[in-house]
Amino acid sequence: MSLLRHPILVPALLVSLCLMVVVALIGLPLPVAVVIGVLVGTIITVMVTRRAEGMLRRTIGARAAHAGEFPRLHNTVDGLCLTHGIERPDVFVLDSPAGNALAMAGREGASIVLTTGAADRLTLVELEALVAHLLARCADDELRGETTTVALGRFPFVGRGLGGFGRSAADGPDRMVQTDFDGADLTRFPPGMQEALRGLSDLGAAVDAPASTARLWLLQPDGRTDVATADHPAVDVRIAALAER
């Protein structure tokens, strides 16, 4: 991976810039402010990058999904990974009756988090489609960078300035629809993803998670499924798109 595409680049530059401004306001000479900003910003960002995935899991309260407690979930993940030669992500759950899920990536690989409502109450077809979507998301080369950016967004002085940084042209609603398609390709059954989206919506997608994490969730974490947001199309739009697949 080139330096210009490294997931740490944009967050490191942003943190460094913020620190440069702070140091300069203190009254230190500009060259000193630049050196301090770059050095400290890089150190902080490297530390966050290494711990971003774990930080986010703790932020949303996810816990390990043990096979004995969630056998259907583990069987579904194992089956899809084995069939398609996909590296198996770590599997976690969030204790919530809602229907939602997200994927993250860090230095050691990717992980997926499902609400217990989704893991327990979706049908097998719906669960397989949901897991396939998450596995397709894990395969996205941009996911690690997004995870880092979201983790940095938890810090107020960075989060306010992060804005659209760290987003590629493929981000947003169109990316979410494409991931639906990629997941449906894994199951070879687009109606399954349609049913999964309906099932998750019926459960209610609202989870106790920071708004800054929205781009990682399959559905908008504030529970809105009938309107488009910066990261998610309306569920009806996604279902209609899959009908043409």
Band (pLDDT 50/70/90 cuts) for residue 1 is: very low
Rounded to two decimals, the pTM is 0.81
pLDDT digits (tens, 9 = 90+) for 193-232: 999 999 999 999 999 999 889 999 999 999 999 999 999 9
What's residue 238's pLDDT? 98
3-state helix/strand/coil string of the chain = CCHHHCCCHHHHHHHHHHHHHHHHHHCCCHHHHHHHHHHHHHHHHHHHHHHHHHHHHHHHCCEECCCCCCHHHHHHHHHHHHHHCCCCCEEEEECCCCCCEEEEEECCEEEEEEEHHHHHHCCHHHHHHHHHHHHHHHCCCCHHHHHHHHHHCCCHHHHHHHCCCCCCCCCCHHHHHHHHHHHHHHHCCHHHHHHHHHHHHHHCCCCCCCHHHHHHECCCCCCCCCCCCCCCCCHHHHHHHHHCC
Q: What is the mean pLDDT of the chain?
A: 86
